[in-house]
């Protein structure tokens, strides 16, 4: 296994290009199940989660063209041998449940393992299942699998109790072939949802309202394959923005639409960080002292839960006291104990973490626990005194393409070494 070793203290200066968004690619790969010819997705980052999803699609019977250096992914699903997503695949990546909607929509049946919990919370899929049931699917849950059958799904009016990103995407993927109109109420507003809806419309679907809390999908009979370029990864961009802010850097983040990150932009400005839109990207200039601010994560367009661990690393060296509230997941403070080992002064009480800024963090051997927690440990290592070693960085590789290479190019003293 690899680990990342950082000597802290360097300012980050320069320009970094953001890769394609992992959380946009995954639903697009699921959408490739809806048509029998080649679907082409470009600007695809090289990430573990995408490799995992490829394995699942091949297991289902899809053909995947060999990788290309420029990140072009071609998928064709002429038929599926058995529409089943097994536990050993789903347990490694919850987003595997995204095959449920397209499989039952095109092949009239699906058998997908329930994802089970993960490091950051229980993360059930009850809303995915409830929506499919409302569309007339026959659903049985046994021995940890959900079996879904439907000759043809029927359009329905579905209210989702929680704004669920993959729930919205799964039901959209199910509804495109349904008989009649489906209305998803309280749907997720994320740009990744919009990217999926735009792509499905280019395939011949009739979807309106993506990006709002009410999405209307009229079922169609045929969908044709398309070529689609994936939107930039706003969470990777946000991670580099915080890295520049924390290290008193001056970094230009290319190809990242400023408006994807409004909540983060606002928060960073409150800390005294300079955040400006420039040539289709964002320039972030940091300085000390970093003003401590309170942060509350809420669904898009609010402050992203996927940026909570990163902003906490920044508040760990803030000038005062910061209250960070995590409202989306019930256990997304796994990074706290590792940050405390670096000297951070953080107290957790339920969904709130109280962070009292300290002058300096000190480097330490650390262990990553989940994708965004690992990013926060890397960020803390960039500013800590001395050496920081982060192990189990396979968590990091799920969602960041060569982060150490990109940070090194900005001036960080960082290496990936064999453990
Ligand atoms: C998506 O996960 C993202 N993953 C997550 O990114 C992200 O953290 C999350 O949305 C929130 O923004 C992908 O898009 C592949 P949810 P998802 O369903 O869809 C509850 C990363 O770091 N819920 O929006 O699984 C759930 O428990 C990952 O890239 C139900 O109760 O999240 C959670 O508390 C981590 N029942 C809340 O909704 C359901 O049926 C939001 O979850 C579904 C969800």
- pLDDT tens digit string along 139-197? 999 899 999 999 999 999 999 999 999 999 999 999 999 999 999 999 999 999 999 99
- Please, which residues bridge with residue 53 across strands? none
* Residue 301 preceded by cis peptide, ω within 30: yes
Residue 46: closest CA among 11, 19, 24, 15: 19
What's the 166 CA to ligand 1 centre distance in angstroms?
Answer: 6
83 & 182 share domain: yes
Nearest CA to ligand 1 atom 43: 125
Residues that are catalytic = 118
Q: Among residues 356, 370, 254, 393, which one has the least CA distance to residue 310?
A: 370
pTM value is 0.97
Q: What is the pLDDT of residue 253?
A: 97
The ligand 1 atom at the shortest distance from the C-alpha of residue 26 is 15
Which of 229, 256, 283 is the endpoint of a domain?
229
| Total domains, the chain | 2
Q: What is the mean pLDDT of the chain?
A: 95
**Residue 39, Cβ density class (10 Å: 0-12 exposed, 13-18 middle, ≥19 buried):** buried
| Closest-lying ligand 1 atom to the alpha carbon of residue 399 | 29
Which residues, 6+ apart, have CB-to-CB distance to 316 below 8 Å? 339, 342, 344, 345, 346, 355, 357, 358, 361, 380
Last residue of a domain, one of 199, 229, 259: 229
pLDDT at 348: 97
Q: Are residues 114 and 160 in the same domain?
A: yes
Whole domain around residue 286: which residue ranges? 2-19+232-418
Residues in the chain: 419
Residue from 50, 101, 166, 238 to probe ligand 1 pocket by mutation (most atoms less than 8 Å from CB): 166
CATH number at residue 354: 3.65.10.10
Domain boundary among 204, 229, 254: 229
pLDDT digits (tens, 9 = 90+) for 302-322: 999 999 999 999 999 999 999
Alpha carbon 109 to chain centroid, angstroms: 27
Q: What is the pLDDT of residue 1?
A: 84
């Amino acid at each position: 296994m690899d680990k990342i070793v950082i000597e802290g203290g360097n300012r980050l200066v320069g320009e970094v290009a953001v890769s394609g968004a992992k959380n946009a690619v995954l639903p697009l790969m699921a959408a490739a199940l809806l048509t029998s010819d080649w679907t082409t997705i470009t600007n695809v980052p090289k990430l573990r989660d995408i490799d995992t999803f490829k394995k699942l699609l091949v297991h289902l019977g899809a053909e995947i063209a060999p990788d290309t250096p420029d990140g072009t992914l071609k998928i064709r699903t002429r038929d599926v041998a058995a529409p089943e997503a097994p536990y050993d695949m789903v347990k490694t990546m919850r987003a595997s449940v995204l095959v449920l909607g397209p499989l039952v929509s095109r092949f009239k049946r699906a058998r997908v393992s329930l994802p089970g919990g993960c490091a950051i919370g229980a993360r059930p899929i009850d809303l995915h299942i409830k929506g499919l049931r409302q569309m007339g699917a026959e659903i049985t849950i046994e021995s940890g699998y959900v079996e879904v059958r439907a000759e043809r799904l029927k359009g329905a009016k579905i209210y989702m109790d929680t704004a669920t990103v993959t729930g919205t995407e799964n039901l959209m993927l199910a509804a495109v072939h349904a008989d009649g109109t489906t209305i998803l109420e309280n749907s997720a507003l994320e740009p990744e949802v919009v990217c999926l809806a735009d792509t499905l419309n280019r395939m011949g679907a009739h979807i309106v309202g993506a990006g709002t809390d009410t999405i209307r999908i009229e079922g169609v009979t045929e969908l044709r394959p398309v070529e689609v370029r994936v939107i930039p990864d706003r969470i990777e961009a946000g991670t580099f923005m915080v890295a520049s802010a924390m290290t008193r850097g001056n970094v230009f983040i290319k190809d990242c639409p400023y408006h994807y990150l409004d909540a983060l932009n606002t928060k960073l400005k409150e800390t005294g960080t300079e955040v400006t839109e420039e040539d289709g990207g964002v320039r972030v200039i940091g300085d000390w002292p970093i003003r401590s601010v309170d942060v509350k994560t809420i669904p898009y367009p609010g402050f992203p839960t996927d940026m909570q661990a990163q902003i906490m690393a920044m508040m760990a060296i803030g000038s005062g006291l910061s209250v960070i509230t995590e409202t989306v997941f019930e256990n997304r403070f796994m990074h706290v104990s590792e940050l405390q080992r670096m000297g951070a002064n953080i107290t957790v009480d339920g969904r709130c973490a109280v962070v009292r800024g300290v002058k300096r963090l000190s480097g330490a051997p650390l262990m990553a626990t989940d994708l965004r927690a690992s990013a926060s440990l890397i960020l803390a290592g960039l500013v800590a005194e001395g050496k920081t070693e982060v192990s189990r960085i396979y968590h990091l590789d799920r969602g960041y393409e060569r982060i150490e290479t990109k940070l090194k190019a900005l001036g960080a003293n960082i290496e990936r070494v064999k453990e």
